[in-house]
Amino acid sequence: MEQRAHFSKKLEDLKVMVLRMAALSESAVHKAVRAYLENDADLAEAVIVGDESINEMEDEIDNFSLELLALDQPMAVDLRTIVGAQRITVNLERLGDEAVNLAHRAIFLSTRPPMPHNPKMEDLANTVKKMLSEALKAYVDDDVNLAGQICRMDDKADDLTISILRQMVSDMVAESRIVERGVHAIIGSRHLERIGDLSTNVAETVVFIVEGTSMKHNCRG
């Protein structure tokens, strides 16, 4: 019984570590989105500098997870909890990378005249931020219903990305002087879409941890 209590405490510690990393990744995404929408180079630079902390957390969690797997040889839901934490950590690190990518776009665009206001870009940014927030909430609460809802939000993010692409191409054809900025704006929208995809990965992992099933084909089909 004492050994079980000790192992349960280790699993709790693992979840706390993942949530600490999640807070860093989510903060990076929020800052990068704001930097991108507001052409704030200083904020974008802060995102790039802060990425090292996210990478360090990934290494720390990976080592702790491997130690749990090697020493305790968990089964069933305990094993899924550890493997799921590892999967989520990988996606959190990639979220940090996408925040950095978006920050680089923001730095470039800050050196050029501002693009016309694009409500769809703001809508996409708000959608993927909400997806990430809800995915992390689903992980905290082991909420498979909330995790399932994120799939539908991903469809909206994909539709917005396509709509932005079409609009930007049309604008660039009509006005050649914005082509360079337009290309970077399109790339920025793809980084936002990728943030949505990675948030969906987190949500799918929540279902794996709780139920031991995969929702990849249902979510992405």
Residue 218's pLDDT is what?
56
Residue carrying structure tokens 């192992």: 7
Residue carrying structure tokens 């994120």: 150
> What stretch of H or E contains 117?
none
Residues in the chain: 221
Contact 176, 198 (CB under 8 A): no
Structure confidence at residue 221 as a pLDDT band (50, 70, 90): very low
Cα 107 from Cα 44, distance rounded (Å)? 6
For the chain, give the mean pLDDT.
Answer: 93
Contact 211, 86 (CB under 8 A): no
Residue carrying structure tokens 């191409």: 169
State the CATH architecture for 1-211: Up-down Bundle (1.20)
Q: Which residue, 70, 81, 93, 58, is CA-closest to 9?
A: 81
Q: Is 165 exposed, middle or buried (0-12, 13-18, 19+ CB in 10 A)?
A: middle
C-alpha 181: how far from its chain's center? 25
Q: Lowest-pLDDT range, 18-27, 67-76, 160-169?
A: 67-76
Segment 45-61 mean pLDDT: 97
